[in-house]
Amino acid sequence: MGFFGDLLNSANQAFGGADSELLANGQLGRGEVLAVDASGMTLQIGNGLVERKCTLTLNVMLDGKQPYQVQVSQRIQEVYIPQLSSGGAVVAVRVDPNDPNRVAIDFDSPVPEVSLPASEGHNSAAWILENGKPITVVLVANAPIGVTNAKGDPVQALTLTVATGVPEPYQIQVGNAVPASALPLVFPGSKLHAKLGDGPNDVVVDWAAGAVKE
């Protein structure tokens, strides 16, 4: 970048600007916005939109790596803050390959689809399907989230009512992979077999078991 370029980049970051070197060379990934904390610091350059320095808590997802949480402090155009704070917002991020905690939001790139590695060990999806408690769930709603699992199956956000196998019914939202063979079962009101892991949110739909027969 050069000496003067480094100085300008450092000065920009001091006022909440994104690291230009990281935006140019960082690995592209997805960032689910979990929280937004807006500060009182604002900046307007020329006739541009007012930007406010914010601290965002992100769930970062990169190809072939397990998701992780990180906090990013960056100037955000004020018009976008309500959208980012509304819940469920996803942004493109750039990540330093040598330092996963060095992250910048890339508003100029489309949010990529990523493939996550298989989870392993106790309370993983595979472990829950094999060892979890049998329950039944009712599908309330579903939506793709731009992520696939290690087998290439798309992961969807499933809103489920846990109906039987628990003391009292309750509703949760979980991310489950949905293979193509299970698509006929994916509709509101679909009653499905599932397995429950250690906690109330550790629910994995057992697509291979099919629908619950009335």
pLDDT digits (tens, 9 = 90+) for 4-26: 344 334 434 444 567 889 999 99
- Find, among 71, 80, 93, the residue nearest to 22 by Cα: 93
More confident residue, 99 or 6: 99
Which helix (H) or strand (E) is 208 found in, with range? none
pLDDT attached to residue 49: 80
**Mean of the per-residue pLDDT values of the chain:** 89
Sequence-separated (6 or more) residues with CB below 8 Å from residue 174: 157, 158, 160, 201, 203, 204
pLDDT attached to residue 15: 47
pLDDT attached to residue 12: 46
| Domains delineated in the chain | 3-114 (no CATH), 125-209 (2.40.50)
- Find, among 61, 88, 208, 89, the residue nearest to 149 by Cα: 61
**Banded pLDDT at 32 (limits 50, 70, 90):** very high
**What percentage of the chain carries pLDDT values higher than 70?**
92
pLDDT attached to residue 45: 75
pLDDT attached to residue 17: 66
For 164-200, write each residue's pLDDT tens digit.
999 999 999 999 999 999 999 999 999 999 999 999 9
pLDDT attached to residue 10: 44
How many CB atoms are located within 10 Å of the residue 148 CB?
A: 17
Per-residue burial over 48-83, b = 16 or more CB atoms within 10 Å of its CB, e = otherwise? eeebbbbebebebbbeebebeebebebbbeeebbee
For 128-176, write each residue's pLDDT tens digit.
999 999 999 999 999 999 999 999 999 999 999 999 999 999 999 999 9
For 39-97, write each residue's pLDDT tens digit.
877 777 777 788 989 999 999 999 999 999 999 999 999 989 999 998 889 999 999 99
